[in-house]
């Protein structure tokens, strides 16, 4: 039982360390892309800024923003998603939680991994929104993205590719697939209303979506054509070669889960593998027409629900260890009742000194054997 508890705790820390690092990188990239998008657009009033930043809040899943800020201005959103201690998904909190999980499994990860995640965490200490603005937001978010890429590269290059490494891959690819679905779902209205918008505005927004997933260059090399909404959706969901597409992420996550359990490709050993394998099959045999028939918003919602189901199954299968069933303690009776219920003492004959010595020797010998 102690071994199972330790393995579950180690797997849980590795899994969430990986997810938090990936989440911090995704949020940094989204904020950086949106700041650059503002430079390409005409001067925006308060309503225009809110229309630009609300999809960012939806993609990061931060529904508590309205409790702390009245309007979704650039300054408010950037501060909330970057350094706010009240936001559990801020970059600061993500890297703090990642470092804390890494500290719990310090013996399982390499020295280089710990030094990199600790260095990134310490670089955020004492930072404020004004200091970031003064030094340049682009440089700051680029630093976060580079730190995440460096951490993942160090992980692949310095850690043995066993179960510990596989749990890191499961967390990374599950978080990456979930963020891609959220980015597409948050910009669902652009997909629907693109014909009604100007060509320039539509191209800028779809290019921003590609850059939010680090997919702009890969898309241009794959299609060698102008940014087209249908092709963007197909590329980010169904492309099997791009490492941030939903299909590629789910396939990599499924492979890691099967390596952990040692299961064959044609079968599954637990609920997590069953759900992951089913989603892989659905994505492998889906086409853009299927997505458009269902509708982007509904398709992304259903995919998010399936990813959440996989995450819950992973938790129940590997990360959750139920408490041991201990026997119920006997009730403690008051001294007067205990004396009443106690059996009467019998007179025992007095032992000789030799008998007492033999009995003590046997008793000590038994205790010693049990202890040994």
From 32-36, 65-69, 307-311, 360-364, the region with the lowest mean pLDDT: 360-364
Q: What is the pLDDT of residues 300-337, one digit of tens each?
A: 999 999 999 999 999 999 987 666 565 666 665 555 55
Q: Using N-to-C axis directions, what is the helix angle for 46-60 and 74-82, rounded to 10°? A: 20
DSSP conformation class of 194: G
Backbone angles phi, psi at 43, to 5 degrees: -60, 125
Backbone angles phi, psi at 126, to 5 degrees: 80, 0
Contacts of 102 (CB under 8 A, 6+ apart): 13, 17, 109, 113, 114, 117, 118
Q: Give the residue, 325 or 14, on which the prediction is more confident.
A: 14
Q: Is the pTM higher than 0.85?
A: no
Please state the length of the chain.
372
Q: What is the pLDDT of residues 212-221, one digit of tens each?
A: 999 999 999 9
Distances (CA, A) of 349 to 342, 352, 356, 363: 21, 10, 12, 19
Listed residue (21, 169, 14, 18) closest to 107, CA to CA: 14
Task: In whole angstroms, give the CA distance from residue 161 to residue 104.
Answer: 19
Domain spans of the chain? 1-159, 161-322
In this structure, are residues 272 and 257 in contact, taking their beta carbons and an 8 Å threshold? yes
DSSP conformation class of 126: T
Task: In whole angstroms, give the CA distance from residue 178 to residue 305.
Answer: 10
Task: In whole angstroms, give the CA distance from residue 23 to residue 21.
Answer: 5
Burial of 199 (0-12, 13-18, 19+ CB in 10 A): exposed
Task: In whole angstroms, give the CA distance from residue 161 to residue 166.
Answer: 7
Q: What is the pLDDT of residues 255-310, one digit of tens each?
A: 999 999 887 767 889 999 999 999 999 999 999 999 999 999 999 999 999 999 99
pLDDT at 369: 41
The number of beta carbons lying within 10 Å of the beta carbon of residue 94 is 24
Q: What is the pLDDT of residues 186-213, one digit of tens each?
A: 877 666 555 444 445 568 889 999 999 9
In this structure, are residues 216 and 126 in contact, taking their beta carbons and an 8 Å threshold? no
The number of beta carbons lying within 10 Å of the beta carbon of residue 35 is 14
């Amino acid at each position: 039982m102690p071994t199972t508890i330790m393995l579950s705790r180690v797997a849980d820390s590795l899994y969430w360390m990986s997810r938090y690092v990936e989440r911090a990188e995704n949020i940094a990239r989204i904020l950086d892309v949106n700041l650059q998008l503002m430079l390409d657009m005409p001067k925006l009033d308060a309503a225009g800024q809110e229309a630009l930043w609300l999809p960012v809040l939806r993609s990061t899943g931060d529904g508590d923003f309205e409790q702390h800020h009245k309007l979704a201005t650039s300054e408010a959103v950037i501060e909330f998603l970057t350094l706010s201690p009240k936001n559990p998904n801020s970059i600061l909190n993500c890297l703090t939680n990642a470092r804390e999980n890494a500290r719990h499994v310090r013996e399982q990860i390499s020295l280089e991994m710990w030094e990199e995640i600790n260095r990134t965490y310490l670089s955020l200490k004492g930072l404020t929104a004004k200091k970031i603005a003064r030094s340049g937001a682009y440089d700051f978010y680029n630093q976060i993205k580079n730190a995440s890429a460096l951490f993942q590269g160090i992980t692949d290059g310095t850690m043995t590719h066993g179960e510990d490494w596989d749990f890191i891959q499961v967390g990374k690819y599950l978080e990456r697939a979930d963020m891609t679905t959220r980015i597409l779902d948050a910009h669902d209205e652009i997909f629907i209303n693109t014909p009604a918008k100007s060509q320039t505005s539509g191209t800028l927004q779809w290019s921003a979506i590609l850059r939010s997933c680090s997919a702009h260059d890969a898309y241009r090399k794959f299609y060698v054509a102008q940014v087209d909404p249908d092709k963007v959706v197909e590329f980010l969901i169904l492309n099997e070669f791009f490492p941030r597409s939903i299909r590629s992420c789910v396939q990599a996550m499924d492979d890691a889960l099967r390596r952990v359990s040692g299961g064959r490709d044609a079968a599954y050993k637990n609920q997590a593998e069953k759900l992951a394998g089913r989603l892989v099959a659905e994505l492998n045999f889906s086409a853009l027409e299927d997505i458009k028939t269902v509708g982007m918003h509904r398709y992304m919602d259903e995919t998010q629900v399936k990813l959440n189901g996989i995450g819950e199954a992973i938790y129940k299968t590997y990360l959750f260890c139920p408490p041991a069933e201990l026997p119920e303690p006997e009730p403690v009776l008051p001294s007067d009742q205990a004396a009443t219920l106690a059996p009467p003492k019998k007179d025992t004959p007095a032992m000789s000194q030799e008998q007492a010595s033999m009995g003590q020797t046997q008793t000590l010998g038994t205790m010693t054997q049990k202890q040994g």
